[in-house]
Amino acid sequence: MIPSAHSKAGINDLMASNLANELEQIAGPGAVLVAPEDLMLYEYDGSVDRALPKAVVFPQTTGQVIALVKWAKEQGLPIVARGAGTGLSGGAVAVEGGLILGFSRMKKILEIDLDNRLAVVQPGVVNLDLSQAVSSRGYYFVPDPSSQKACTIGGNVAENSGGPHTLAYGVTTNHVLGLEAVLPSGEVIHTGGKTADTPGYDLTGIIVGSEGTLGIVTEIIVRLTRLPEAVKTILAIFEKVDDASETVAEITARAITPAALEMMDQLTLQAVEKATRAGYPCDAAAVLLIELEGLREAVESQATQIGDVCRRNRAREVRIAQSERERQLLWAGRKNAFGAMGRIAPNFYVQDGVIPRSRIPETLRFIQQVSDRVGLKIANVFHAGDGNLHPLILFDARDPDQFKRVVKAGSEILSFCVSIGGSLTGEHGIGMEKNELMPLLFTEDDLTVMGKLKAVFNREGRLNPSKIFPTSKGCGEIRITQQGAS
């Protein structure tokens, strides 16, 4: 006798209830989600891919994480660690189902040691919250992704996140001293420490940026930095994109390293200004947002030099923020640029390629050619100072044909970046978005060695499976996933 749809639903409900009961015995009541309508909220991150987990659990202690990892091992289930879900490469998507460990309840700042300029935090601490906790005493946590009001430090560690101030200060790995992590066996390891240098292999450096494929980070020792004595924010406005690009190259050639050097094109400016009213010119071809930090005298001198460089490269206006409010408004526009795209299209697909700074003009021309070829608008907002591009391909995900064109455009742009000596990612990670493109950047031997390293930590591949490495049968077979256009 074939079970009716009603009886199947009843069986599924019973199985979900039993699953929830088992997991709640480990994580406590109210810490488990198994209902389909709840799981739908965790089937995606900031990328275009989607997949439903079997359950979502919110541990509160390292001990609970250990117990959950051991339980998942017994069940043969994959595990995906998740912060705030703001990632942009599918890193927090449970592509093979299984268990999502959500770290929103492990959000304590465990220790602040300003004498040694460090803090110890749980992975669910929101990036900006740490800076706010120490700012009154003259310190901050440097990495500042655009999503810093929401993203977590655990997620920053997984993706080795950057932000506008990467140019001068580096990405997350430059600000992490040590980690506590749970391996797929349930063993706990401690890497690095509270001192600047520790002997042995740099396991901290290996885990940061491994996208949750080596271990589940449960505690992080981070470096804190003194707030600068002086800050100046400059807006340079250009009639031509090439003029703005050449300005970036000349600033670098002069050995001036701004804290941040950002670029936005006209399409981005129009959306940003409508959203934030920050004073961006909607008729300009491009702007550079330049921030200088340091000793007052040095900042003043560099501001003068940068102003001269901008004018020599035909900037129509060079404006210095005259108040903290004006400065914050300009940065609000830049950091909310992705969200502002909703005024132009229902969805966007953001890329994260890196190129040599000297190749910015030709790369932007190539991106425009791709836009014309696929018939979709592409807005550009990026970290010009370190050549980290963020083309935003605008589309409607309800149209399957548009989705196919978006994926094609993204592949073409990233392939071009690699072809001119660049990289597939600067700060968003590989995830399941770019894993099939890895053979463009690495040889088969390179990927084999990386796979062997992964196997030392995660031999069965249950931690965040189908991420980073190609899933197709040969490394030479490059394909793009087309999941989740729903």
CATH of residue 26: 3.30.43.10
Specify the pLDDT at position 346. Answer: 96
Same domain, yes or no: 126 and 219:
yes
Q: Is residue 163 part of a domain?
A: yes
| CATH code for the domain in which residue 133 is found | 3.30.465.10
Same domain, yes or no: 260 and 201:
no
Structural domain boundaries enclosing 59? 5-102
Specify the pLDDT at position 9. Answer: 53
Same domain, yes or no: 53 and 63:
yes
Under a CB-based contact definition with an 8 Å cutoff, are residues 387 and 357 in contact? yes
- Picking from 435, 69, 52, the residue whose alpha carbon sits closest to that of residue 217 is 69
Same domain, yes or no: 63 and 126:
no
Beta-ladder partners of 50: 44
Q: Is residue 247 part of a domain?
A: yes
Same domain, yes or no: 240 and 166:
no
Query: Which of 208, 226, 244 corresponds to the end of one domain?
Result: 226
Specify the pLDDT at position 270. Answer: 97
Under a CB-based contact definition with an 8 Å cutoff, are residues 407 and 482 in contact? yes
Specify the pLDDT at position 4. Answer: 53
Same domain, yes or no: 90 and 113:
no
User: Which residue ranges of the chain lie beneath pLDDT 50?
Assistant: 7, 473-486
Same domain, yes or no: 275 and 287:
yes
Q: Is residue 114 part of a domain?
A: yes
Measure the CA–CA gap between 196 and 190, rounded to whole angstroms.
15
Specify the pLDDT at position 285. Answer: 97
Q: Residue 278 is encoded by which pair of tokens? A: 């920050």
Length of the chain in terms of residues written: 486
Same domain, yes or no: 222 and 233:
no
Question: With the CA atoms of 199, 205, 206 and 210 taken in that order, what torsion angle do they form, in degrees rounded to the nearest 10?
Answer: 160
Same domain, yes or no: 126 and 174:
yes
Q: For residue range 381-437, what is the model confidence (pLDDT) as tens digits?
A: 999 999 999 999 999 999 999 999 999 999 999 999 999 999 999 999 999 999 999
Under a CB-based contact definition with an 8 Å cutoff, are residues 89 and 430 in contact? yes
Query: Which of 326, 342, 358 corresponds to the end of one domain?
Result: 342
Measure the CA–CA gap between 225 and 135, rounded to whole angstroms.
10
Measure the CA–CA gap between 124 and 147, rounded to whole angstroms.
14
Q: Is residue 310 part of a domain?
A: yes
Q: Is residue 182 part of a domain?
A: yes
Same domain, yes or no: 123 and 147:
yes
Same domain, yes or no: 260 and 241:
yes
Q: Is residue 384 part of a domain?
A: no
E strands, 272-410, in order: 286-294, 315-320, 347-350, 378-382, 391-395
Under a CB-based contact definition with an 8 Å cutoff, are residues 205 and 173 in contact? yes
Beta-ladder partners of 120: 111, 221
Q: Is residue 165 part of a domain?
A: yes
Specify the pLDDT at position 252. Answer: 85
- Give kind and range of the element (H or E) at residue 23: helix 5-27
Q: Residue 294 is encoded by which pair of tokens? A: 């340091």
Angle, vertex CA 58, rays to CA 53 and CA 59, nearest 5: 125
| CATH code for the domain in which residue 335 is found | 3.30.70.2190
Q: For residue range 37-79, what is the model confidence (pLDDT) as tens digits?
A: 999 999 999 999 999 999 999 999 999 999 999 999 999 999 9
Same domain, yes or no: 88 and 121:
no
Under a CB-based contact definition with an 8 Å cutoff, are residues 466 and 96 in contact? yes
- Picking from 291, 299, 309, the residue whose alpha carbon sits closest to that of residue 254 is 309
- What's the domain count of the chain? 3
Measure the CA–CA gap between 279 and 291, rounded to whole angstroms.
17
Specify the pLDDT at position 476. Answer: 34
Query: Which of 286, 316, 342 corresponds to the end of one domain?
Result: 342
Q: Is residue 19 part of a domain?
A: yes
